[in-house]
Structure 1
Amino acid sequence: MSQVSNQDVCTSRKAAELLGVTPRTVQLWADSGILQSWKTPGGHRRFSLSAIERLANEIRNGDAQPVSQAGARKAGPARMLVIEDDVSLQRLYAMTVRNWGLPIELKQSTDGYQGLLELGQFEPDLLVLDLNLPNIDGFSVIEALVRQGALTQMQLMVVTALPFEQVQPRIERVSSGIEVLSKPIPFLRIRESIEKILLEETVFS
């Protein structure tokens, strides 16, 4: 990358403070390409301070909510993020989830780039992910999550119209055990996952 001045250099910790996210989220965004970074000879990741400040302004202008620290999920509604580029399907998700009458906080993104930003800000309990996405596709989202160990903090369900035999081997090469489901949207299976998340909260709270 091009040279930056010493005054424009930012550490991962400083970037996390400016963005209002955890250092782990900063690493996730760097691995996925949202944040451009480089490493020092000692292996420490560095960022352009001006680029971090620009992204922080974008997040503030979008009224992004502060992020809780990573760890056990907080008591309250189950947090569900849907990354799906079909607007009509997003409306269907919103209507169906609302009609369940369960305590669910739903966030929705229509491309992989915005979805990764939401992941860092929202830290969902359940991520429902399409694969054919603009900007950053679903496969790249999965790779970034695996590199950062983020799948230990959430459940991932892939919902796709792509042929299962084409998708499953490619995902298995990245991480085993990821649930891949075919469209039409398997709402019953998604609801079962949400109910399990809510039940675990009741049992362990």
Structure 2
Amino acid sequence: MTMCILTVDDSRTMRDMLRLALAGDEFEVVQAVDGLDGLDVLGRNEPDVIITDINMPNLDGFGFIEGVRRTERHRSTPILVLTTESDSAKKQRARDSGATGWIVKPFDPVKLIDAIRRVAA
């Protein structure tokens, strides 16, 4: 069964890296360029897991996560934060907003896939 993964990141390079890391039969990747776009894309898709950055224009990752959690349909969808941030206060804020996990960039594709499988189980 193919898992749908929504990636939300303002960096085209990072979106491309995620798409390539998740390429194959196991994952279908849909992408958004910031939190506002992410909420729009979310309304048209049923992702099994969401991967989001924190630092983005228009609507940052915290606001995006809170927006996701306000929707009944996606209240329990796993959300992994993928960011360069390692500050413990930001990690706690992400957890408080509804994030499921936290991964610091640069990421190891194997570990990312393991994290996706773990939170989707």
Q: Indicate whether the TM-score tops 0.5.
A: yes
Tell me what 2:15 maps to: 90
- Contact 1:161-1:182 at 8 Å conserved across structures: yes
Change in 2 beyond 3 A, CA 1:191/1:134:
same
**Higher helix fraction: Structure 1 or Structure 2?**
1
1:8-87 superposed matches below 5 A: 76-87=1-12
Match of 2:30 among 95, 104, 107: 107
Paired residues, number: 119
Offset from partner CA, 1:14-40 (integer Å, 9 cap, x none): xxxxxxxxxxxxxxxxxxxxxxxxxxx
Match of 2:71 among 148, 166, 173: 148
Query: Which amino acid in structure 1 is aligned with residue 87 of structure 2?
Result: F
Offset from partner CA, 1:88-113 (integer Å, 9 cap, x none): 11111122222xx3321111111111
In the alignment, the residues of structure 1 paired with residue 107 and residue 68 of structure 2 have an alpha-carbon distance, to the nearest angstrom, of 23
Change in 2 beyond 3 A, CA 1:143/1:95:
same
Superposition RMSD in Å: 2.0
Change in 2 beyond 3 A, CA 1:96/1:172:
closer
Q: Given the two structures, how large is their TM-score scaled by the length of structure 2? A: 0.84
Match of 1:137 among 60, 65, 77: 60
Partner SS state of residue 118, structure 1: helix
Tell me what 1:168 maps to: 91
Partner SS state of residue 44, structure 2: helix
- Contact 1:116-1:141 at 8 Å conserved across structures: yes
Structure 1 residue 179 and structure 2 residue 104: aligned? no
Query: Which amino acid in structure 2 is aligned with residue 109 of structure 1?
Result: A
Partner SS state of residue 159, structure 1: strand
In the alignment, the residues of structure 1 paired with residue 39 and residue 61 of structure 2 have an alpha-carbon distance, to the nearest angstrom, of 10
Q: Given the two structures, how large is their TM-score scaled by the length of structure 1? A: 0.52
| Higher-RCO chain (CA-CA 8 Å, sequence separation at least 6) | 2
Tell me what 1:23 maps to: none
Offset from partner CA, 1:115-145 (integer Å, 9 cap, x none): 1111111120010010111111110011112
Query: What are structure 1's unaligned runs of at least 5 residues?
Result: 1-75, 201-205
Q: CA deviation at 1:188?
A: 2.2
